[in-house]
Amino acid sequence: MMQLVTFTCSPEQALDESYLLLEIKNQLNFSSKNKLFFRWKKRSLDARNRTIKVNCSFEVSEEVLPNLLPDFDFKSVGNEKPIHIIGAGPAGLFAALECLLLGLKPVLFERGKEVRARRRDLAQLNKEGLVNPESNYCFGEGGAGTYSDGKLYTRSKKRGDVDRILQLLVYFGAHENILVEAHPHIGTNKLPQIIEKIRQFIIEKGGEVHFESKLTDLKVDSKTITSFEINASQWIETDSLILATGHSARDIFYLLQKHKIRIEAKPFAIGVRVEHQQSFIDQLQYHNQLSGELLPPASYSLVSQIDGRGVYSFCMCPGGIIAPCATSDGEVVTNGWSPSKRNNPYANSGIVVSIDPSDFPNFKTNPLVCLEFQKMIEGKAWAAAGKNQKVPAQTLKDFIDRKKSTHFPESSYYIGLTSVEMDDIFPAFVVDRLRKGFKEFDKKMPGFISQQAIVHAPESRTSSPVLIPRNHETMEHVDIIGLYPCAEGAGYAGGIVSAAIDGAKCVQAIHNKISK
């Protein structure tokens, strides 16, 4: 019989197999000479006090433990009913895998390139500041999640759904640790291989994956989707179209508006990406100890209510790099990534302010009001940086003191910084709250505000500024039969795992409809 054993120990002890076995035996009062099999169930670090502890939970049995992964029953689907999926981000890819599990044929269309060719476009972007509008940090195989930190935590409370996504990632090559760690992550260097394996498997099973294939139009007849157009040249008939295009595909929102398909303005968040030295964050979080073999590079999560609005840290990347995430020329956008070891000397995080459609006078009549604000800020940043992909920057201390920076410490942003006052990019209701928020954070993490920290602008692609409304039960658009607005771009997910869950759920809804 399998039993669960939990205890806390030091970080050193958590790495020592013989100590762990002894402690498990102690906990169970196990005196038999029989062999005991055990494996980690959950592991989390508790660094709230000076003595740092590891919370350990193990599955233990006198018999060989059952397989870690369930038996996924993927079917061959070459001759099955096609389900058309637009976008090969986490939502699109996991929708495709769900098709294979349910005996449906996924046919995926992705505007960007396959993951290896995409890497070359990113190298060019980082070297020369040239943005390819179809192949960048947001567009291409794997979606926005491919060249990210690969953090796999989510606020989703449905543990079963989350575990299933993590198990599928392990099935396709992710380290088993992601099933155990309280804050699992994969890393930019490991994600592309996993994504490539998923694609090859989809094709092997009879599905289709088409790259450099952009959805450019669609046809609706009697409130039902009937066909869609790829690359302004090829029309394809459909009765089930999953729209998993992510929140950076502005052309999709414009397309829906052109066809008078209902969309709504949605709250989102905007702000800056702040960067410190990782050693500084380690010392604060680990009470003057540094990360290393025993302790992973430290992270933080900060939140405050300022003048009735949330100001909070977003997508913190320990040991990370700040990336240029624009999807077209004429805009600057930041986000962060890190390799699996998180071994860069910098720690970056978005620090953002909640934005509500009602912040803008015409929010009731213009569903794109938040998107237009987001676009305006990104355009101002580009102009302020010198009309290129350099990033507007200010030291955090100078930002607080409203002074233009004359010197910067080293930043991880490859393309370079331009000294700009954040007040020239953001309206007062954003910068004022950011300043107050930073002062609150400095009380929680003394020294957070300093000349050694840099704010880079803007962090603007936190979540979709547009909602594509859908029926909660059928997952179809509220007005259009057969159209499935999916995941982050439609406003139903925020992050890799929740997007993947939503992709799978859209396919389950289609399967339910067909099976009736």
Ligand X SMILES: Cc1cc2nc3c(=O)[nH]c(=O)nc-3n(C[C@H](O)[C@H](O)[C@H](O)COP(=O)(O)OP(=O)(O)OC[C@H]3O[C@@H](n4cnc5c(N)ncnc54)[C@H](O)[C@@H]3O)c2cc1C
* Interacting residues toward ligand X by CB under 6 A: 86-92, 109-112, 137-140, 143-145, 147-151, 214-215, 244-246, 248-249, 252, 315, 323, 325, 335, 337, 487-489, 493-496, 499
Choice between 245 and 395, CB closer to ligand X: 245
CB of 227 to ligand X, least distance (A): 15
d(CA 263, CA 189): 36
**Which is nearer to ligand X, 87 or 482 (by Cβ)?**
87
Q: Give the shortest CB-151-to-ligand X separation in angstroms.
A: 3
426 closest CA partner among 486, 369, 367, 379: 379
Q: Which residues contact 287 (CB under 8 A, 6 or more apart)?
A: 47, 50, 52
CB-based contacts of 24-29 (< 8 A; 24+ apart in sequence): 24/58, 24/60, 28/3, 28/60
Which of residues 20 and 249 has its CB atom nearest to ligand X in the complex?
Answer: 249
Closest separation in Å from C-beta 292 to ligand X? 22
How many whole angstroms separate alpha carbon 176 and alpha carbon 69? Answer: 10
Residue among 77 and 325 whose Cβ is closer to ligand X: 325
Give me the least distance between CB of 336 and ligand X, in Å please.
6
How many Å apart are CA 485 and CA 255, to the nearest integer? 13
Q: How far is the CB of 38 from ligand X (least distance, A)?
A: 30
Minimum CB–partner distance for residue 90 and ligand X (Å): 4
- Count of beta carbons in the 10 Å neighbourhood of residue 15: 13
The alpha carbons of the chain give a radius of gyration, in whole angstroms, of 24
Query: Element (H or E) spanning 11, and its range?
Result: helix 11-14
CB of 345 to ligand X, least distance (A): 19
Token digits for 53? 């502890």
Pick between residue 86 and residue 104 the one whose CB is nearest to ligand X. Answer: 86
Q: How far apart are CA 459 and CA 409, in angstroms?
A: 20
**Strands in 261-345 per DSSP E:** 264-265, 268-277, 303-306, 309-317, 321-324, 334-337
Given the complex with ligand X, which of 353 and 468 has the nearer CB atom?
468
Identify which of residues 58 and 253 has a Cβ nearer to ligand X in the complex.
253
